[in-house]
Amino acid sequence: MSLKEYNKKRDFTKTKEPPGKEKSKEDNSLIFVVQKHAASRLHFDFRLEWEGSLLSWAVPKGPSFNPKDKRLAVEVEPHPYDYKDFEGTIPKGEYGGGTVMLWDEGTWEIQKGENFSDGLKKGSIKIILYGERLKGKWAMVRMKPKGDEEEKNWLLIKERDEYAQDVVGISDFNTSVRSNKNMDEISKGDDMETYEVQLATLRKKIPQGDNWIYELKYDGYRIMAYINKGEVKLESRNHKDYTEKFPDIVKELKKWDIMAVIDGEMVINKNGKSDFQALQQYIKTKKGTKPIFMAFDLIFHDGKDIRKYPLKDRKKELKILLENFRGNTIHFSNDIQGNAKELLKTVCGQNMEGLICKRADKAYYSGRNTDWIKIKCENHEDLLIIGYTQTESRIRAFSSLLLGLNKNDEIIYSGRVGTGFTGETAKEIMKKMKPLERKTPPVSDVPASRPNEEVTWLTPKLIAKVSFAEWTEDGLLRQASFKGLKENNSKVNESDEGFNLENKNAKKSKIKSKNEFVKLTSPEKEIFIDYTKSDVFNYYEKMNKKILPYIEKRLVSLFRCPGGISDTCFYQKHPTDNLAGIFSKDITESDGEKDSYMYVEDEIGLLQAVQYGTIEFHTWGSTINNLEKPDMIVFDLDPDEGMELSQVRDGVRDLKSILDELELESFLKTSGGKGYHIVVPLIPKASWEEIRDFSKNIAKVMEEKWPDKYTSNMRKEKRKGKIFIDWVRNGRGATNVCPYSIRAREPGTVSWPITWKELDKISPNEITIVKALKSRRKDPWIDFFEIEQSIK
């Protein structure tokens, strides 16, 4: 549809409205928006996406939830697809001058049996809205013109359904669905928000394809530059004010008479590569090589939040902006062209940090996700300094630093670093270490001292940035080099990028054979028709390294069948005296009373539980060290009896599509029964209540979007012919069967992690004990605990 009339009415050098162009998105869903518009007269603009643009009607009184109300809707010129994101103030004197609020948004579809194109011609449209506020069935009817009137007057009518009300209802909603601001706050839109940065996820394999762009990885300080027409503020990724630390950068940015927020990295370039220690020295002394600001993203420009624009468009706009304000201290971070693997080889061959790989077609999302991938040329880790050594032959203040890794509030010795210091750097570090000296080591696994070496222990407060070749089998750094001290308010890594502590702890395990430390009784007892107790024990012994990361230090409920699954089985979540090897923790219940719960720490506890007749392991979605902050969400797709497997698989894809839209990476496993489980790993940040509400809302979205296919109601009578999206198991105290757990049902099925590509190949109850033990494939969930994402 032509946007000529729309473009003709607007001066885009004055208004922040998007210029007219048809949509270029990939998915097939149709969107709608309702914008509250305080022009010469307050009204609502109702817009439906159709054929690449937005069909638009001005509704003077706004929509009504009451089917008795027939609201006048005056057809106006089609608007561009990008107008769906517009919220702000159109300058006075311009067409439509006034404040615009995004009052509602969502998707829509044609009612069953209707043809939208024919309806437009005939003047009768029947649609279903899936918005935040407008939901259900709606009708639009064109009125017959009077005399020479154009056929532009329609009636917008709410049809009777479960969303209809006896009142108008729109006065209950006075804020934006996007920004949560009211009209007055939107009209004062010159104040810029403070933004959370987008973070890259560490991977070893470089992504390839036309949708990826590649940038150099810098070794400096991540900085968000806020520019507001002569006022400048520089913030670190943790919102620490760095404005005074980089006066030359601030001086340059103050010349820019614009409003913008630029994301980038502050670096000092030495010999063609960034030098972190030189940057730290400059911040302290303001001497030496001056830093430059490598700008790589633009997220706000001239009153517009452009985070939803694709990266390629944001970078294009940033490049034009920097060309208009040429200077020596602000540089554009160019994409590097070429074959991905060859690029990485070249970059690493020049002793660079590595590459940042970004999806060119994606929006800017705060937090860590896989739209941005970082590939390091060498391993890097942030480690606690737990001590230092001195020898008679030393030429610096100390010989080496002793380092520790924080794992679940336990510090584990991780090796030493003795290179990468200058004499001046060592003196500065020693000044910081002196007040932290102590007599006892802060680790239990105390390393042996070397000949003619004196060790001084420290209270672990300082954090060292180190590079290294690899982790040894003993969990120690090899060929480590000091890169600098991390700022005091930074959080030390908890083995999220480096050595796998589960493997390190497993090495210390006492288990050498299935009967040496856990005595198995009644090994020939029949548990399943084809499997004995010995077979179940053997399975968990061989799978312990795969299953333990999902069980250890989580409150666990055991599903025990001491006499086999054909005999009495029961759940047990509270410990008893006879369960040796299983630990107890006192938990405050919702009623304020305390009770004891169980958890497992290692293979011994796992196998002792099996010895006591445990078949299934069900765990909380949080660890005992952070009990009130879940680190995963689980959705169980539970189909009604007799449903086709193809419908269940469609349900999995539909749920994944919603999670994908929210930029949440998810993992898939079979239930071992009728359905599949989708699991979303999280940073333990949100509360149980927030997680429960979020998962419930996801299920509600599916129910509202596909009401004939899914239900969020757990009552059996509500599931007829539908799939229950079980969100209830995401509440405090609820448990989920963990990955790799056997299920207590014939023929001995397993809840088995699979890839998304395997969805159409593996049925929910296909993997059995024997098939699992024969599997030699790579773990599809190997990155599960590396994902850093949040619902907040």
Closest alpha carbon to 438 in 477, 411, 465: 411
Phi, psi of 301 (to 5 degrees): -150, 125
The structure tokens listed for 543 are: 């799978």
634's CB contacts (< 8 A; 6+ apart) are 621, 677, 678, 679, 680, 729, 730, 736
CA distance 494 to 782: 17
Closest alpha carbon to 668 in 790, 548, 764, 772: 764
Count the neighbouring beta carbons within 10 Å of the beta carbon of residue 20: 23
Count the neighbouring beta carbons within 10 Å of the beta carbon of residue 507: 10
Tell me which of 135, 217, 358, 465 is the catalytic residue.
217
| 247-273 core/surface letters (b: 16 or more CB in 10 A; e: else) | eebbebbeebeebbbbbbbbbbbeeeb
Count Cα neighbours of 697 within 13 Å in the Cβ-side half-sphere.
10
* DSSP characters over 702-771: HHHHSTTTEE----GGG-TTSEEEE-GGGSTT--EEPTT-B-SSTTTBB--EE-GGGTTTS-TT--BHHH
What SS3 class is residue 503? helix
With tokens 């400059």, the residue in question is 282
Phi, psi of 527 (to 5 degrees): -100, -50
CA 180 from centroid of its chain's CA atoms: 22
Tell me the residue type at 515: N
DSSP 155: E
Asked if 217 is an active-site residue, the reply is yes
What SS3 class is residue 215? strand
Tell me the residue type at 556: V
CA dist 57 → 455, 538, 567, 733 (Å): 77, 68, 67, 50
* DSSP characters over 313-340: HHHHHHHHHHHHS--SSEEE-PPPPS-H
Count the neighbouring beta carbons within 10 Å of the beta carbon of residue 75: 17
Catalytic residues: 217
